[in-house]
Amino acid sequence: MTKRDIRVRRVGQRVTAYLAYICLVLMAGTAFAADEPGCFDCHDDPGSTAHRVLQTAHGSLQGGGANACTTCHGASEEHDRRGKRAPPEVSFGPRWPSAVEARNAACLNCHESGEQLLWAGSAHQQENMACDTCHDAHRLADLALDHVAAEDKCLDCHTDVRAQLHLPSRHPIAEGKTACRDCHNPHGGLGDSALRQVTLNDNCFSCHQEMRGPFLWEHPPAAEDCSECHRPHGSVHPRLLNARGPALCQQCHAAAFHPSVPYDAAGLPGAGADVNLLGKNCLNCHGRIHGSNHPSGARLTR
């Protein structure tokens, strides 16, 4: 055999191997296609809800196509045939809705960590809510991506919060600068009220860092619980406060160092009232209400 013969044979071997490989790929492809469930035989309208899922993050599950369908709806062999048809194994649809637990289990198969880690035991889980109450898995722009749609969804049920968002003083939620999800995890949070942070103060500090301190002179209620004085969503009083002017302070300081005078319907205080208080808001003097770092700021005046 000449060198040339050997080269020819090697090329021949390579071509054969290549052809064999192509055949294998083609055969595997056919076998794969034959295994693909027949969902599209009947759900054949490319414009339908069913097909839209193919354009979402879920469209490529298990290699995509009709294989994706069974990841959520189950193998559904009794449904996937002509004649008398059983419901799909898991159905979220209007016709044969499965029990909430079965629907949620289908999603949690893949989504039980990360944001959904605390779902079990969360208020929404305890209210027997389904993932598909909020998520339409067949839509392109799911709530996960669309702030405004998500907020609308929340406010459908939380009508009391909807009202608070339009009070004169409010967190700029309706304005789109802050969103429910910045403070709450709808799948369950670390703190009370599904807050993302363990404590309410940690939640506030996540955006209002300057309030965290440490301060040389602390004002105990601020260090302990911002909600002693503030409402989280909205308030009729300025600066999201629970109450206005002296009344706010007098919830706790009714008998403080200089006798405080409630400004109420009883009119102006009597002649014995401290001149410091007449017509004045406590904040005019005690401006460092969240704490002071001034050497002589013990009374929160500077």
Residues 66-105 contacting ligand HEC, CB under 6 A? 66, 68-73, 76, 79-82, 88, 91-97, 104
The Cα 121–Cα 139 span in angstroms is: 28
Q: How far is the CB of 28 from ligand HEC (least distance, A)?
A: 21
Residue 163 binds to ligand HEC (criterion: CB under 6 A): no
Min. distance of Cβ 8 from ligand HEC in angstroms?
49
Q: Kindly state whether residue 284 participates in binding ligand HEC, applying the rule CB under 6 A.
A: yes
Q: Dig out the tokens for 115 from the structure.
A: 């944001």
Nearest to 300 by CA among 180, 174, 215, 238: 215
Which residues, 20 to 59, sit near ligand HEC by CB under 6 A? 37-39, 41-43, 49-50, 53-54, 56-58
Binders in 119-158 for ligand HEC, by CB under 6 A: 119, 123-124, 127, 129, 131-138, 142-145, 150-151, 153-158
- Each residue 214-253 as x (binds ligand HEC by CB under 6 A) or -, in order, gives -----xxxx---xxxxx-xx----xxxx----x-xxxxxx
- Distance, in Å, from the CA atom of 103 to the CA atom of 90, rounded to the nearest integer, reads 6
Whether residue 169 contacts residue 234, with contact meaning beta carbons closer than 8 Å, is answered with yes
Q: Which DSSP string corresponds to 135-154? A: --TT-SS-TTT-HHHHHHHH
Cα 39 from Cα 80, distance rounded (Å): 7
Return left, alpha or beta for 214; rule: phi > 0 is left, psi -120 to 50 is alpha, else beta.
Answer: beta
Among 118, 211, 244, 269, binds ligand HEC (CB under 6 A): 211
Biggest CA-to-CA distance, the chain: 127
Q: Of 121, 159, 177, 270, which one interacts with ligand HEC (CB under 6 A)?
A: 177
196 belongs to the binding site for ligand HEC (CB under 6 A): no
